[in-house]
Structure 1
Amino acid sequence: MSKLPNVTPSIFAAMTKLATEHNAINLAQGFPNFAVDEKLATIVAEVVKKDVHQYLPIAGYSPLLTKIAKLILDFYQRKVLIETEILVTTGATQALFTTILALIKTDDEVIILDPSFDNYEAPTLLCNAKAVRIELNDDYSPNWERIEKAITTKTRMLIINSPHNPTGKVWKENDFLALENLLEKNPRILLLSDEVYEFITFEQKHISIHSRKKIADRSIIVSSFGKSFHITGWRIGYLVAPEYLMKEIKKVHQYMVFSVNGIAQAAISDYIDVISVDKLGKFYQKKRDYFRKLLKNSRFELMPCEGTYFQVVSYAAISDENDLDFCKRLVVEHGVAAIPISTFYADGKDLKLIRFCFAKDDKTLENAAKRLCTV
């Protein structure tokens, strides 16, 4: 008997497979297609010669933990304890999964805000807990009245995501004030904040839970080196949590992976010294603006994109098809792969919206846009 009877294969894998079969341009799955930074490649070549090939401590490579703490202090003015509050993980996915398995018990309720990334619900269900899916507003801001009404005596966790996948929405100050007010009234609820695109924002700066002193001591914050440094295949991220929660998270982590790839940790530790993550937003803003310019004469309607490397568009003026069928036809007939937004909703809500990833080199974006302008 399946423990996840309603969970189907990932839409990301499915669309990538379809794109490969039809030799289509893959703007579906969220990964860059340009070369890794030469500085990082050089560092990796040197790190391989060092003594980093055996098991590292469960929490992570000590120099990297120190660099993470400094990064958080520099960007968010928060001092975290290196020994007890930071954990390096095998990607943000493992960080999310481990956190939920460690902190959620049978019959607990976890509030998830739709449209939502599919990695939130599965671990919740594996805990024999209930995933309570609440829709965001039409502009993808949180509907606090709706969220508050969903809270019961069993509510144990609220999961938030800003910058938001798939919509590119970035929460504003008033959203965080409302969040703090909600958590103050409900002291039992933990906060899991998915901030993997924290350094990829544009006109509006990212506001991190690291900077919210009122609720940081009951929050788990997840970050991703894979997203920040264009190395998604390395599968390396980290989470920050207060010691009383981290103790429980590490109990699960030690049996799930024990420790994370040593070469990757050592290389990233050295790489942090030679790059500036604060320039990442400007890098992707240029790509966003260029991609939007290329699609200006298409029949797609461009939705706002405030962060991440995803652009949501409406195809309502083009077709009445459901978004999954439209995405499949887009691959087969036009040679471009995208992700249907309905798959991010519990009820499959179809607003005729699809998501493109613009973390691609200019030639790829140009070729894709040329095809999309013929749709």
Structure 2
Amino acid sequence: MDSKLPNVGTTIFTVMSKMAQDFDAINLSQGFPDYQVPKGLLDAMQKYLHGNYNQYPPMAGVPYLREQIAAKTAKLYGATIDVENEITVTSGATEALFVAIQTVVRPGDEVIVLDPCYDSYEPGITLAGGRTIHLPLNSAFGLDAQRLSDTINDRTRLIMLNTPHNPSGSILTREELNTVSSLIKDRDVFIISDEVYEHMVYDNGQHDSLVGIPDLRDRTFVVSSFGKTYHATGWKVAYCVAPPALTAEFRKIHQFVTFTTHTPTQWALADYMEHHPEHFEELPRFYEQKRDLFLSAMSESRFQMRPSAGTYFQLADYSALSSDTDQSFVEYMTKEVGVAAIPVSVFYEQPPDQRIVRFCFCKHDETLVRAAERLSEL
């Protein structure tokens, strides 16, 4: 049988996590915490699991949760969201991204993705019959406005944005977003804004959600994740905010992909959001401290650490240590040093000539210190 995705294999995240397990290495590769979900959220989950909240919820999501999403969005971004017609709860951000792509991309359409980018984007585009156009970010992982302008044409249907950015930790500025807006103002182009790390912004920086930018909101699907925010990546709950017309089409596909999402989890998240809004307010400082701890612990190493303004990822240049490819180097680190990382080349269509790996710092402080001690011996 001919494969619909002939160039797709097992994701690098699965490969490296398994290798870390096989060689008993500290896993700084895949982006999941090694600490517990907040106790109050676990208590809420227990409450709803045993409270007869276990049947199908509404296809668009539990109203209580959508109300809390709308309240948070209004507080953070000054945007008023229609709970009934603009918010859809999904089974993880990957589902939301996939469904949004299927909603607007038709065979022959071109979709611009900014490299390096998350590996789930292109398969969804391919399955929709679209053509992925890879546009590299600049050397500081910022938007190259001229190249974007040169790339947009009459076949361009969609632009994929990701801010804060995985894997680099860079953040798109309001000026960059305004540039995107001006370039597509007179075109029939949509945007998917992957904002799953929206609450992880450091050094007094600012995340500008596209839901709060009027010139972009009417053509944008904004995707965010509860798993990232509440240290519960295995719960696979996220949401998509889009204008009513786009949401209506989004839900037509969503209902035949997963239909709906785990009921007690939705209730527990809504309950916790209402009674503990301080959680996402304190998250930037929580992760900024972890980033700074890891940077301090790595200060005596031969790695050159790149700036990380957001997410829980830290890029590191290892060119002073080895001329090996990043895939060979992460395999060596995992097997011989006992620390697993992700090779950044997998986020590119055409990787530049660089020696950079991605570490994840959403780990216990002791885990980060132990990993840094091992890496500093290189």
TM-score by length of 1: 0.98
Query: Partner of 1:321 in structure 2?
Result: 324
TM-fit CA distance, 1:50 = 2.0
Q: Are 1:250 and 2:251 matched, yes or no?
A: yes
SS where residue 201 of structure 2 aligns? coil
2:257 maps to amino acid: M
Q: 2:287 aligns with which of 284, 308, 332?
A: 284
Q: After superposition, what is the alpha-carbon deviation per residue over 1:288-340, rounded to whole angstroms, capped at 9, x for unaligned? A: 00000000000000100000000000001110001000000001110000000
Query: Partner of 1:117 in structure 2?
Result: 118
Q: Are 1:355 and 2:351 matched, yes or no?
A: no
Query: Partner of 1:195 in structure 2?
Result: 195
SS where residue 316 of structure 2 aligns? strand
TM-score by length of 2: 0.98
Query: Which runs of 5 or more structure 2 residues have no equivalent in the other structure?
Result: none
TM-fit CA distance, 1:350 = 4.1
Query: Which runs of 5 or more structure 1 residues have no equivalent in the other structure?
Result: none
Give the aligned length.
374
Q: 1:299 aligns with which of 302, 312, 315?
A: 302
2:337 maps to amino acid: H
* Range moving further from structure 2, 205-214 or 286-295: 205-214
Query: Partner of 1:170 in structure 2?
Result: 171
Structure 1 runs (4+) deviating above 6 angstroms are none
State how far apart, in whole Å, the 1-side matches of 2:174 and 2:263 are: 38
State how far apart, in whole Å, the 2-side matches of 1:350 and 1:202 are: 29
State how far apart, in whole Å, the 1-side matches of 2:262 and 2:338 are: 36
Q: After superposition, what is the alpha-carbon deviation per residue over 1:141-181, rounded to whole angstroms, capped at 9, x for unaligned? A: 01111111111211100000010000000111211121111
2:93 maps to amino acid: A
Query: Partner of 1:229 in structure 2?
Result: 230
1:195 maps to amino acid: E
Q: Are 1:309 and 2:309 matched, yes or no?
A: no
> Is the 8 Å Cα contact of residues 323 and 350 (structure 1) preserved in structure 2?
no
TM-fit CA distance, 1:102 = 1.8
Q: Are 1:374 and 2:370 matched, yes or no?
A: no
State how far apart, in whole Å, the 2-side matches of 1:351 and 1:16 are: 23
* Range moving further from structure 2, 286-295 or 40-49: 40-49
TM-fit CA distance, 1:349 = 3.0
**Structure-to-structure mapping, 1:16-31, within 5 angstroms:** 16-31=17-32
SS where residue 289 of structure 2 aligns? helix
> Is the 8 Å Cα contact of residues 342 and 350 (structure 1) preserved in structure 2?
no
Q: Are 1:62 and 2:63 matched, yes or no?
A: yes
TM-fit CA distance, 1:258 = 0.7
> Is the 8 Å Cα contact of residues 341 and 350 (structure 1) preserved in structure 2?
no
State how far apart, in whole Å, the 1-side matches of 2:53 and 2:353 are: 48
SS where residue 5 of structure 2 aligns? coil
> Is the 8 Å Cα contact of residues 89 and 260 (structure 1) preserved in structure 2?
yes
State how far apart, in whole Å, the 1-side matches of 2:52 and 2:27 are: 38
Query: Partner of 1:339 in structure 2?
Result: 342
State how far apart, in whole Å, the 2-side matches of 1:350 and 1:265 are: 44
SS where residue 170 of structure 2 aligns? coil
Q: After superposition, what is the alpha-carbon deviation per residue over 1:94-142, rounded to whole angstroms, capped at 9, x for unaligned? A: 0001111121111111000000000110000001110000000000001
**Structure-to-structure mapping, 1:136-151, within 5 angstroms:** 136-151=137-152
1:5 maps to amino acid: P
TM-fit CA distance, 1:373 = 0.4
TM-fit CA distance, 1:278 = 1.4
